[in-house]
Amino acid sequence: MKNTAGRNALERYTRDVSRCVRCGACSTVCSSFLADRRESRSPRGRMALVEAVLKGTLPVSQLYRDRLATCTGCLACESACASGVPVTAIIHAAKEQAVREEGRGVVSAVIAAGLKHPGIMRSLAWLAPVALHFGTDAVTKKQVQGSGSSVQSGRKKEGTNKRVAFFPGCAVEHFQRDIAAATSTVLEALGYEVVVPRGLQCCGRPFLSLGDREAAVELARKNVRVLASLDVDAVVTACASCGMTFKKEYPGLLAESGMEPVPVLDIHEFLAGRLGALDLGPFTERVAWHDPCHLGRGQGLAGTARTVLRSVPGVTLVEMAEPERCCGFGGVMRATHPAFSAEIGEAKARDIKRTGTSIVVTGCPGCRMQIADSLARIGSEATVVHTVQVLAEAVRREASGVRGQDGNELAAAGDRPRGTI
């Protein structure tokens, strides 16, 4: 007998699905539809499929699951929808129903196993230099460790007035620790003690993308227990997807347990009101900015991120065409549908190349990985970095008295690998 719990979860959205009037406004902004123009990959096409499954006129087939899996979760359709259809929530519920009725696919099962076991994730760390085009010295022990790399207790050190907990997320923890190092540099320059608490897990978003809500609930509970026990002024993350998950998903994931979410701030919103206290040296460079979907549409911080980036002396921001267009990373889609993800990513890379800039800045480690790979595919040698890496470099330049050098000159002088500044 099939498990109907997932179907019950999907049935809660029956009325929301029926609100889709098939106007097609969503199709004009959907990155997956624009990649191959298949109606079944448009948001309205997916809603039609979900409605058919709910009515029992369509079975949960492999094709149906493929159409759910190739939604990047970018939220662009929801921004364009005049009827306010919660497309992303519906697709998550549809995935949950499909997994409960038919089970996971092999690729999804392997990804889920890796996410649940940090040892497996660590064994894949060699992929980061390939994906980000780093040299072997890009992520070093010296960069990762320091006064803010771990926490010995949940209490502030004696004599410390300001303390911040950093939630790294899977992409930073296992593949891009240079972002964690840069975050610590910037926060410490502001006078904060930075700690990464032991016991933190994946935020849970990949499991929502895979349709495994039970695993996401378990991870949410574990993370909140750890974070709620800390004596800190704030919890921050440099991952846009993690930040949106804490803000938008945790209230629902924790509802049955009666637990309250812990406020988590994206690093851009934390820094925005504190930039006046940060001493920054010049970073005279033209840069392009990519809006992570979960930072801009997901958290409403596109303007805040630009304010933080423009605070660096000498930076010239060159806006690309459609900076908010999804890069195609799509959570786990890059792993489950790599060719389709790459097709979406190459469209983003071409937009970036047309800006003529040599540095691309973004606020999401997943976007950083996807864009770096996409740029390499079209023959671009542009560097892709997180905002905190630009700030950390400006802090270093001010401290060392560096003046009048741009990012490329410093890269050549210091033999810095692509992907770092």
Cβ atoms of 164 and 234 within 8 Å: the answer is yes
Q: Using CA atoms, how far apart are residues 249 and 277, in angstroms rounded to an integer?
A: 33
Return residue ranges of the chain for CATH 1.10.1060.10. Answer: 5-103
- Any idea which fold 110-272 has? Rossmann fold (3.40.50)
Pairing status of strand 163-167 against strand 234-237:
parallel
Structure token digits, residue 257: 């347990």
Mean predicted lDDT score pLDDT of the chain: 85
Q: Which amino acid is at 252?
A: G
Q: Is the pLDDT of residue 335 over 90?
A: no
- Other Cβ atoms within 10 Å of 144 Cβ, number: 15
Average pLDDT over residues 63-84: 95
pLDDT of residue 204: 94
| Cα-based angle 184, 163, 161 (whole degrees, multiple of 5) | 125
5-103 CATH pick, 3.30.420.40, 2.40.160.100, 1.10.150.670, 1.10.1060.10: 1.10.1060.10
Say how many CA atoms lie within 13 Å of 234 toward its Cβ: 13
pLDDT of residue 121: 56
CB 366 within 8 A of CB 171: yes
Residue 181 pLDDT level (bands cut at 50, 70, 90):
very high
Give start-end residues of each CATH 3.40.50.1860 domain in the chain.
110-272
Nearest to 151 by CA among 198, 188, 192, 191: 198
| Separation between Cα atoms, residue 281 and residue 162, nearest integer Å | 24
Question: Cα separations (Å) of 27 from 33, 36, 38, 42, 88?
Answer: 6, 12, 10, 5, 14
**Mean pLDDT, range 168-196, rounded to an integer:** 95
The closest of 202, 219, 249, 216 to 73, measured between CA atoms, is 249
So what's the pLDDT on residue 9?
Answer: 81
Least confident of 64-73, 213-222, 246-255, 407-416: 407-416
Q: Looking at residues 167-188, what average pLDDT do you find? A: 94
| pLDDT at site 159 | 52
| Element housing 290 (H / E) | strand 285-290
Q: What share of the chain is helix, strand, coil (3-state, %, to 5)?
A: 55, 10, 40
Nearest CA to 61 among 105, 110, 126?
Answer: 105
Poorest-pLDDT segment among 122-136, 179-193, 247-261, 362-376:
122-136
Q: Report the pLDDT value the prediction gives residue 124, as an integer from 0 to 100.
A: 52
> At a CB cut-off of 8 Å and minimum separation 6, what does 406 contact?
283, 284, 285
By the 8 A CB rule, do 342 and 72 touch?
A: no
The pair of three-digit structure tokens given for residue 387, joined into one six-digit string: 């905002």
Amino acid at 165: A
- pLDDT range class, residue 109, cuts 50, 70, 90: low
pLDDT at 102: 76
**Neighbouring residues of 36: CB distance < 8 A, sequence distance ≥ 6:** 340, 343
**Rounded to the nearest 5°, which phi and psi values hold at 112?**
-60, -40
Contacts of 417 (CB under 8 A, 6+ apart): 133, 134, 135, 137, 138
224: its two tokens = 């909140």
> Do residues 246 and 261 lie in contact, with contact meaning Cβ atoms separated by under 8 Å?
yes
pLDDT tens column, 42-60: 999 999 999 999 999 999 9
